[in-house]
Structure 1
Amino acid sequence: MSFPRSRRVFPAVLAALAAGVLVGCGGGGGSDSSSAPLPSAAAAPVSRVVVAGDSLADVGTAGFKATVQSAANPARGYPIYPEIVASSFGISSLCNYFSSPDMGQTFTTTSTNCTDFAVAGSLIVNPPTHDGDNSPFSLKHQLSTAVDANGGSWRGGDLIVVDAGGNDVAALADAYRNAQAGSASDQAIYLAFLAQQLSASQISSTTSQANGGSVAAGLYMTELAHTYWDTIRANTLDRGAPRVAILDVPDITLTPRLRTIIGNIATAQGSAAATQFQANVRSWIAGFNAELTTLAAEGGSRVVVAPYDEEFSAQIASPAAFGLTNVTEAACPPAAGFPACTDAALDAAPPPGLAPGWWKTWYFSDSFHPTPRGHELLAGTVNNAITRAGWR
């Protein structure tokens, strides 16, 4: 989701909004293409997997993956979900198209033969101060680069896998939470954030309602679903892609990062305020996912939405059923950063009462990302959706 090690994407987005660069840029959401017919594409058996998204799908832009590292094989590491999906089709490895030796400050291309375009920290709506759609942090840039690298159209044996939105809703939650504190500058930042997708009249009409800040956020996420779909459609189906698997957005309030925020709200404002915040965020995500599912239906048999939200929530609710022993804490030491969070280091210092290998049944590596076991479960969600779509 966020860029590994620092998780500074969300504050960076809010700082950009504080500068006022996005104020008045609203109205970017609604789909205007739902009535256009989609071109058909003859599908051959899957022979190539192309990936776009955030850190969940990033196989090494910064030189490592956002999960536990393999001390014995740091270059290859443990497979993350798109690699597991690809291997189910006999594709032995994915490599990262983009490379960034300085944690996202600059980017180069590793190899034009690489088909994983995902970059940790990516957003559906990347702000202009982050170079907007000209940056690999933009999902649109990733997908347009991918199709251009393929000569402007897709092959019959291609499977495109896309995940995004987790960083967008986390940044929205941060902006909303800060605005609730009552600072005029924080409220201005929140309104500017909303203006990335909403018009001035939409913002005015929603924020004037009871619980208006959350109502506006819900509308923002609905519009964001349109932007997500329009971006995917324009760069995949409209370019002849035969198969597109899209992940919906999981309930991020179940991550350690959001659990901590919710706990802080409960301490400062009481349990009712914490419960309301969680309910608000969940309603925004549910609205996004429902709209995405409706929009994606126009892709017919060429599109499947993998129910990440539903299955992730089930795994957190009933961990033992999925071979999990801890779904609330992060396995990696908070200050370590992913490069230092190796299997060997974790085995050498297990929590009290646990034996080496303990982390293999924990869901979260850090406060926002899965362990290798979490990725196995996510890959299962995607693979099952692909199988149900008849793409095997």
Structure 2
Amino acid sequence: MAGLLVAGCGGGATADTTPKFSPGSVVSFGDSLSDQGTYQVGTVAALGGGQYTVNGVGPSWLARIAALYGLAKPCPAQQGLDGLASQGFSVPVKNNAGCFAYGQGGSRVTNPVGPGNKLLGGSNAVLGQLTVPVVTQLQNHLAAVGGSYKGTELVFVYAGGNDVFINLATVQATIAAGGDPTAAATAGVTAMGQAGAELAGYVKALVVGKGAKNVVVINLPDVSLTPFAKSLPAATQGLILQMVNTFNDQLKGGLSGTDLVWVDAAQGVRDEIANPAKYSLANVTMPACDLSPAKNPLASSLVCNANNVVAGDVSHYLFADTVHPTPYGEQLLSQAVSLELARKGWL
């Protein structure tokens, strides 16, 4: 699984539409939820994919926010794939000058091997996602801009989902090998707390500490409510929820006293799923994409588009695949972000 999930709180800013802060650029770090086309190359591009949603239907949440400030659609800082050449998934890595969307599907907070990375073997080796971790994304940006921020950037940090997936898989593997279930679960939750604390430290040291003045941190959505999690036993869903909450608690606590915007995507998705009509959501349980092998060879929204969605009107579905948002889900997140920007006085 190459990223994580969905939206944030609904609602939107309805105040004066003239921005009160005019950023010179939008800079973003994270995973598939802010990936702007890292893997839109080779066979992925040929299949009409490139982002983790229903491709070609509507703008991403990040592009929507950029447009509010009159800025161009964010472009991926890096593109390429390290998978099987025979299937068109081996494409040389290219760094795109002037592009500051660093998020990559599969990226974790610190560990460089995330979902879809060839080092995990199996189907991961077919696609070969780059999964550059957030800490390295932050360092790469500083290297590209001379070591510090100008103070005019609008910076987004949004990560943690892939740490859930890897830590959950580790717990399951440990139990399958005869390990103690309680100890394995405790280790998984502890690892998530460490990842949250590390991300907070990176934001303070490598973003705010390097001169960024306008920083937005989006917490980890509630992965326990995704179709992926709902297919698992209730006890496993409970473990995922504990992982999410521990990560978010450590991230928020570690950022205490830092002047930034906090977007509570976890509570947002909970409210969306509990009250779909409030958000004009038609379906909050099923993927909009047809993930059957005949229609979607990767079983992922990465190669989903209007030509391989399920039958019927999916324009107000929440989930594109089992963890990622539809364009409408992206719109809901952009509304949640814009509301918090307005509350801060930046929009």
TM-score above 0.5? yes
SS of residue matched to 2:244: helix
Counterpart of 1:281 in 2: which secondary structure? helix
Which amino acid letter does the alignment assign opposite residue 216 of structure 1?
A: A
Partner of 1:361: 316
| Aligned-residue offset at 1:154 | 0.6
1:211-230 pair list within 5 angstroms = 211-230=182-201
Structure with larger Rg: 1
> Residue by residue, what CA displacement relative to the aligned partner does 1:149-175 show, whole Å, maximum 9, x if unpaired?
111111121111011100101211122
Residue number in structure 1 paired with 2:212: 241
Give the partner amino acid of 2:170.
Answer: A
Q: 1:342 aligns with which of 305, 310, 332?
A: 305
CA shift at 1:381, angstroms? 1.8
Q: CA RMSD in A?
A: 2.5
Shift of 1:275: 2.5
1:158 equivalent in structure 2: 153
Does structure 1 residue 370 correspond to structure 2 residue 291? Answer: no
Q: Which amino acid is 2:315 matched to?
A: K
Correspondent of 1:51 among 17, 25, 28: 28
Change in 2 beyond 3 A, CA 1:89/1:57 = same
What percentage of residue pairs aligned between the two structures are identical?
A: 26
Which residue identity lines up with residue 317 of structure 1 in the other structure? A
For residue 104 of structure 2, the aligned residue among 119, 124, 146 is 119
CA gap of 1:333–1:154, structure 2 versus 1, over 3 A, is same
- Count of aligned residue pairs for this structure pair: 299
Between the aligned partners of 1:379 and 1:367, the Cα distance in structure 2 is 20
Task: Describe the shift of the 1:344–1:276 C-alpha distance in structure 2 as closer, same or farther (beyond 3 A).
Answer: closer
Give the letter for the 2:239 counterpart.
Answer: N
Q: How does 1:293-312 map to 2 (within 5 A)?
A: 293-299=252-258, 301=259, 303-312=260-269
Residue 241 of structure 2 is matched in structure 1 by 282
Kindly state the Cα deviation for residue 105 of structure 1 after the two structures are TM-superposed.
Answer: 5.9
Distance in 2 (alpha carbons) for counterparts of 1:46 and 1:119: 23
Measured against aligned partners, the alpha-carbon deviations of 1:335-368 in whole angstroms (never above 9, x if no partner) come to 314465322443xx61xxx4xxx11111111111
TM-score (norm. length: structure 2): 0.79
Aligned position for 1:80:
60
Q: Against the structure 1 CA distance between its residues 102 and 245, is the aligned structure 2 distance closer, same or farther, given a 3 Å change threshold?
A: same
1:14-53 to structure 2, matched below 5 A, reads 45-53=22-30
Tell me whether 1:259 sits opposite 2:230 in the alignment: yes
Q: For residues 128 and 62 of structure 1, what CA distance do their matches in structure 2 show?
A: 16
Following TM superposition, by how much is the alpha carbon of 1:229 offset from its aligned partner in structure 2, in angstroms? Answer: 1.2
Secondary structure of 1:312's counterpart equals: helix
Partner of 1:37: none
TM-score with structure 1 setting the length = 0.70
- Displacement, 1:128? 6.6
Tell whether the 8 Å contact from 2:160 to 2:247 is kept in structure 1 after alignment.
no
Provide the residue aligned with 2:123 in structure 1: none
Distance in 1 separating the partners of 2:112 and 2:93? 20
Tell me, in whole angstroms, the C-alpha distance in 1 between the residues paired with 2:154 and 2:237. Answer: 35
Q: Which has the higher helix share?
A: 1
AA partner of residue 126 (structure 1): N
Unaligned stretches of 5+ residues in structure 1: 5-42, 71-76, 188-206, 263-273
Q: Is the 8 A contact 2:201 2:254 kept in 1?
A: no
Q: Which has the higher contact order (CA 8 A, sep 6+)?
A: 2
Cα pair 1:53 1:117 within 8 Å, conserved: yes
Q: Does 1:387 align with 2:346?
A: no
Residue identity opposite 1:225 in structure 2: G
